[in-house]
Chains A and B, each alone.
Chain A
Amino acid sequence: MTDKPGPILGTTLYSFTNDWRQRLYTLESLLEKVAALGLGPALEVVGFQTFRDFPDVSDETARHFRGLLDRHGLIPSCLGGNLDVGRRRDRLMSPDEMQTYTERQLISAQKLGFPVLRIQHSVGPAVMERLAPLADRFKIQVAAELHSPLVADHPAVIELRECYDRLGTPYLGFVPDFSSTMTAVPEGHWSSLREAGAPEALLAEAKAIWITDRPAAEKFGALAEAAARHGAGPDLAGGLNRSLTMFGHAAVSQWTPLLPYVRHIHGKFYWVEAGRETSIPYPELMALLKGAGYQGTISAEWEGHAFSEELLGFQQVQAWRAMCDRLLAN
């Protein structure tokens, strides 16, 4: 077997959302810590989290950021962009506005040195096609993020794949997220529902509904029925719905048809303990990526901050990294 280079690991600063919101770090000190702990080299940021002047970063912001990455030996992997189609209360963005809003972020990606711009899949094939010329010119991939329930055989994903194939450009793609293929809902999610007043019997029913392979619409229906029967209010019902929207239960094999369009992956995780992610099948995922010869980047994307304000990001990303290094070395 030839010694092919494997995936390039790194992290997204999104993993350190709690530390960032508590103003414990500046961009300078955060990148310094990421590098000092050996969590690079690939470095991803959410534009609207990290830069005050996003979506239009200034030349000064870009120069400063590139200088920091150079100093710490980090390489830019993916810029998280956002398509705020609902920014007006009275109407959605028009296709022209969607194009302009995304192009501004693409220009920022180019200034900052990122090879991939993540955007929501709601961009759709028609606007994606309009973005292709600038993506080609910059040689930056505009990539639709695929969260639960968006997997390879989802109609919205098939539509985008057909668009990419027809245009034949490598600069349109996907950023898939490991949360589409989970084996369980993270315990932290159930704990937060428990704190919001969910009775144990309702949680048990929700777990049983989640684990089935019934169509999503049926699962939402069953969950709503259970919530109503247990007298759950709107806040709790919304939290229960997130069990289905945040955590997907698709088969790991759904990843294979996507890989030709993938340069960056969100290594989503919630809790790594004793070298194991408790709700995401990392051994299978890493074996699949290694076997397929994937050489793109993967970010450690700790999302435990959705359930807790505790400062666990660095500890968890270190644990994730040790786990992935071990799995890829096997």
Chain B
Amino acid sequence: MGDKVTLIEADSLKATDGGYQFNVRLNWYRSLPLSSLEKFALALDGQPVPLEAVRFSYGGREYEFGELDEQVETFWFVQDGLEIRVRQPGQVRRGERHELAVEYALRFPYIAIGPGRFLTNTSRHTATQVAG
């Protein structure tokens, strides 16, 4: 039987040269353009991570948060993780245990709830993982 899909993908934390990375899953039933990601907040071990240190990697390309708005033709597939790459050298080393807390908001661009307004869902998840 399958495991429940968690926002922060299980066992996805990895230490990297410049910091660390992990995957988040799409909390919806259909793929959405990356421009649907309205808000993204990350904390490592309880410390908020500045958004400038975060990059979003999907389909072989890397984006800053501010660049996502323009990605109206890049669709985040329902079965895929979005790779979150964080530039914080030395914060996460292989084998260490860390707590990640993510909050993001998704705008559903086909579900209008008023003139120019769309249904937007906020999801949160906190997970402790050992870095690979």
Contacts and interface: CB of A to CB of B under 8 A. Distances in A.
A92 interface: yes
Contacts of B109: 84-87
B29 A87 contact: no
Interface string A117-132: 0001010000000000
A23 B79 contact: yes
30 contacts: A18-B2, A20-B79, A21-B5, A23-B79, A24-B2, A46-B30, A48-B30, A48-B31, A49-B30, A49-B78, A52-B31, A52-B77, A54-B31, A82-B110, A84-B72, A84-B109, A85-B109, A85-B110, A85-B112, A86-B109, A86-B110, A86-B112, A86-B118, A87-B36, A87-B72, A88-B35, A92-B116, A120-B110, A309-B5, A311-B2
A198 B33 CA distance: 33
A14 B29 contact: yes
B107 interface: yes
Of the candidates A21, A49, A85, the one having the most CB atoms from chain B within 10 angstroms of its own CB is A21
Contacts of A92: 116
Contact of A87 (B3, B5, B30, B35): B35
Contacts of B38: 89
A44 interface: no
Contacts of B36: 87
Interface in B59-109: 69, 72, 75, 77-79, 107-109
Nearest to A245: B113
B110 A89 contact: no
Contact of B31 (A49, A90, A235): A49
A2 interface: no
A86 B75 contact: no
Nearest to B108: A86
A330 interface: no
A42 to B, nearest CB: 20
Interface string B112-125: 11001010001000
A23 to B, nearest CB: 5
Interface string A69-112: 00000000000001111111110100000000000000000000
Interface string A289-312: 000000000000000010001010
Contacts of B69: 88-90
B3 A82 contact: no
Given A86-B107, A86-B109, A311-B2, A17 B35 contact: no
B2 to A, nearest CB: 3
Interface string A38-66: 00000000101100101000000000000
Given A83-B110, A122-B112, A22 B33 contact: no
Contacts of A22: 2-5
A46 B110 CA distance: 13
A305 B33 CA distance: 22
A87 B2 contact: no
Contact of A82 (B25, B30, B107): B30
Interface centre among A24, A48, A49, A87 (most CB of B within 10 A): A87
A89 B36 CA distance: 8
Contacts of B116: 86, 92
A305 B107 contact: no
Contacts of A46: 29-30
A237 B79 CA distance: 30
Contacts of A86: 107-110, 112, 116, 118
A83 B109 CA distance: 8
A19 interface: yes
Interface string A8-29: 0000001001111111100000
A48 B1 contact: no
CB-CB nearest 7 A-B residue pairs: A22-B2, A86-B109, A84-B109, A48-B30, A86-B118, A87-B109, A87-B72
A92 B110 CA distance: 11
Contacts of A23: 2, 79
A311 B107 contact: no
A22 B26 CA distance: 11
